[in-house]
Amino acid sequence: MAARLALLLVLRCSSAWHATPRGRYALPRRATSDDLAELRVPDLKDQCRALGLPVSGTKAVLIERILEADGAAAATADAADAAAAAIDDAGVAHPAELEATAPLAPKAGFRAGFVGVVGSPNVGKSTITNALLGEDLCVTTSKAQTTRHRILGVVTADAYQLVLSDTPGILERPAYELQERMMVAAKAAARDAECLLFVTDIFQDENEVRDAYAWMEELLPAQRPPVVVALNKVDLLEEGLLGDRAASRVGTLEDCVERTKASCPAACAVVPVSGLAKDNIDDLAQTLASKLPPSNYLYDPDFFTDRPQRFFVGEIIREQILEQFSKEIPYSCEVRVDRFKERMKDGRPFVAIDAVVLVARDSQKGILIGKRGRGIRDLGTAARRRLEDFLGAKVHLALRVKVSKEWRSDDAKLRQMGYPS
The per-residue pLDDT string of the chain (421 residues; one tens digit each, 9 = 90 and over) reads 333 333 333 333 333 223 333 333 344 445 677 677 777 777 777 777 667 677 666 777 778 778 877 665 554 445 445 444 444 444 444 444 433 333 456 778 999 999 999 999 889 999 999 999 998 888 888 888 888 888 899 999 999 999 999 988 888 788 888 988 888 888 888 888 999 999 999 999 899 999 999 988 887 767 789 999 999 999 998 766 777 777 778 888 899 999 999 999 889 999 999 999 999 999 999 999 999 999 999 998 888 998 888 999 999 999 999 999 988 888 899 999 999 999 999 999 999 999 999 999 999 999 999 999 999 999 999 999 999 999 999 999 999 999 999 899 998 888 888 887 7
Closest CA to 74 of 34, 41, 32, 102: 32
Bridge-based pairing of strands 195-201 and 227-232 is parallel
Going from the C-alpha of 287 to that of each of 115, 268, 274, 324, the distances in angstroms are: 12, 10, 15, 37
* pLDDT score recorded for residue 54: 73
Rg (CA), the chain: 23
Cα→Cα distances 419→76, 105, 148, Å: 36, 36, 8
pTM: 0.72
Within the chain, all domains assigned CATH 3.40.50.300 are found at: 111-290
CATH for the stretch 111-290: 3.40.50.300
pLDDT of residue 176: 84
Q: Are 216 and 248 in contact (CB under 8 A)?
A: no
pLDDT of residue 98: 34
3-state secondary structure of 42: helix
Query: Can you tell me the distance from the alpha carbon of 61 to that of 83, in angstroms, rounded to the nearest whole number?
Result: 34
First to last CA, the chain: 39
Looking at domain 309-416, does it have CATH number 3.30.300.20?
Answer: yes
Domain span(s) for CATH 3.30.300.20 in the chain: 309-416
Amino acid 308 reads: P
Q: Would you state the pLDDT for residue 278?
A: 93
